[in-house]
Structure 1
Amino acid sequence: MEFHPLPIFALFLSLAAVASHAALSPEGYWKSVLPNTPMPTAVKDLLHPDDFRSSKATNVGVGKGGVVVGTGSKGKPVYVGVTPGPAPFLYKYAATQDQLHDNPTVALFFLEKDMKPGRKMALHFVKSTPTGATFLPRQVAEKIPFSSDKLPEILNHFSVKPDSAEAEAMKKTITECEEPGIRGEEKYCATSLESMVDFSTSKLGKNVKAISTEVEKEETPLQKYSIVSVKKMGSDKAVVCHKQSYAYSVFYCHKTSTTRAYMVSMAGADRTRVKATAICHTDTSAWNPKHLAFQVLKVERGTVPICHFLPQDHVVWVSN
């Protein structure tokens, strides 16, 4: 599935012409609010469309790329499909049958106790298909409706056919954004980089670090990776922002106080170096009991911390 960028940039030009002349660009806003916070690759890729089209950002939401597979009890790779159906990073959804079948678009769940140096995991970091879904400046994004009752208008705005796969993906994104979070979850869908910055800093303060998964090579095979080191990032709270499937960049951001973030350095069998962002959830008691993680790991909700790596185009915010 591919969202074509040309209508979006035409919209950008028309709206930017009437936007405030003094308004900061998304990149300028980041620098003004977070002068001491380096911008992760996942954000840079979405600010520069020409670079993004050849980047290694991962688009899990539309099934065009992804992260990782684990190893089952008999040593066979276990793929956890992201599409169709709700993304596995949303706590309230049960797994679909398709998500339990082998699929190269994956998100790996594992137990926190297994994340330690020397541990080997079979992983596949997949380069995404370019979508053109870059960040719009906030003054442009705020002029575009983003609600279920405005869906026909939104689709018309972007010349998306109502019966297309793109329309279904956009509808799904909006619906998930409108639904209430689970107990203890504060959620927000950011339709611009500026709004992502504002939400994250409102929860964690401005002394923050933003991190994302980074892979040394653009293309790597399914292979064994050895964990070299594990570094805990920040306290036991984080804001995690998941890239959604949409005509422009939209992130599903959520914060809980039972989340631990880690940066995991790994080396592949072909010597590819990876700095993978991992999130561990210490309280899963409010999750759907049929969530994908429980079915893959064969554990019950609320019993043990559950972790997963994040694709390359997701962003984790932690306090310094």
Structure 2
Amino acid sequence: MNLYFNKNDQKAKFLPREIADSIPFSSNKLPQIYNEFSVNPGSMEAKVMKQTLEECEKPSNEGEEGYCATSLESMVDFSTTRLGKKVKVISTEVNTKESILVGMYKIEVAKKFPANTAVVCHKLNYAHAVFYCHKTVSTRAYAVSMISADGKKMNAAAVCHTDTSKWNPKHLAFQVLKVKPGAVPICHFLPEDHVAWVPY
């Protein structure tokens, strides 16, 4: 299959939990947040941070539990309280200096995890590492090993959503695949810096 992976060069680090918890994380505290991180309120960085806070404050989709993790400890706690202590973390590893990986890839091995649920955490743009994590049901997770036509190997995390009946009909996946909500499973690879927590 022809695949496209974009390498994320923005490597914002997690803050320790005690520091992250001491800094406001709410759109109604934006002036204080900008001051804490020395961000110009009129800058593009300020706009991106505001968008991240608004994304984190939106209600979760029906049938999902959403949470914005501002520290590694809070991500671990959210994932293990929803899935149990016996979990595995999978992610896509782009092992190259190239910023964009495009090409034909052949799947060598696809390991399916037995559970029908996962917590998937998506990296958001912010002054420090913030991930939007959501527990999904009717979701199958896979650890996939692939090789490109020119011999480059990579490991990727993939998820298949088996019930999309409650998704927004305008979701990009439906437009690209020309299908309706609930008609077929929707599968995709996770970008680099996104992680899936799966019970095993």
Band the TM-score falls in, shorter-chain normalisation: over 0.9
Runs (5+) with no aligned partner, structure 2 = none
Q: Distance in 2 between matches of 1:221 and 1:231?
A: 23
Aligned match of 2:144 in 264, 273, 281? 264
8 A contact 2:7–2:94 mirrored in 1: no
Q: Which has the larger radius of gyration?
A: 1
Q: Aligned with 1:142: secondary structure?
A: helix
Deviation per residue, 1:86-107 (Å, 9 max, x gap): xxxxxxxxxxxxxxxxxxxxxx
Once the two structures are TM-superposed, the CA of residue 259 in structure 1 deviates from its matched residue by 1.0
Q: Do the aligned partners of 2:8 and 2:193 also contact (CA within 8 Å) in 1?
A: no
* Residue 297 (structure 1) aligned to one of 177, 180, 190: 177
CA contact (8 A) 2:144 2:156 kept: yes
The structure where strand makes up a greater share of residues is 2
Cα displacement (A) at 1:179: 0.9
State the partner residue of 2:14. Answer: 135
1:264-283 to structure 2, matched below 5 A, reads 264-283=144-163
Equivalent position to 2:78, from 157, 177, 199:
199
1:235-246 equivalence runs, <5 A:
235-246=115-126
Q: How does 1:1-320 map to 2 (within 5 A)?
A: 121-131=1-11, 133-219=12-98, 221-320=101-200
User: How far did residue 155 of structure 1 move?
Assistant: 1.2
CA RMSD of aligned residues (A): 1.3
8 Å contact kept, 1:216–1:272: no
- 1:312 Cα deviation (Å)? 1.5
Q: Deviations over 1:258-313 (max 9, x none)?
A: 11111121110111111110011111122111011111111111111101111121
Aligned-partner residue type, residue 50 of structure 2 = K
Shift of the alpha carbon at 1:256? Answer: 1.7
> What is the CA distance between 1:214 and its match in structure 2?
1.6
Q: What is the CA–CA distance in structure 1 between the aligned matches of 2:136 and 2:3, rounded to whole Å?
A: 27
Contact kept, 8 Å, 2:109 with 2:144, in 1: the verdict is yes
Identity of aligned residues (%): 63
Q: Is the partner of 1:227 in helix, strand or coil?
A: strand
Structure 1 position 221, deviation (Å): 4.3
Q: Deviations over 1:101-153 (max 9, x none)?
A: xxxxxxxxxxxxxxxxxxxx22233332244x101000000000001100121
Structure 1 234/312 Cα, relative in aligned 2: closer, same or farther at 3 Å?
Answer: farther
Whether the 8 Å CA contact 1:260–1:279 is kept in 2: the answer is: yes
Q: Please state how far the C-alpha of 1:245 moved relative to its aligned partner.
A: 0.4
> 1:184 corresponds to which letter in structure 2?
G
Q: SS state of the match for residue 223, structure 1?
A: strand
The answer on whether the counterparts of 1:215 and 1:273 sit within 8 Å (CA) in structure 2 is no
Is the 1:217–1:272 Cα contact (8 Å) retained in structure 2? Answer: no
Cα deviation digits, residues 226-245 of structure 1 (max 9, x gap): 11221112400000001110
CA shift for structure 1 position 171: 0.9
Q: SS of 1:275's equivalent?
A: strand
Normalised to the residue count of structure 1, the TM-score between the two structures is 0.60
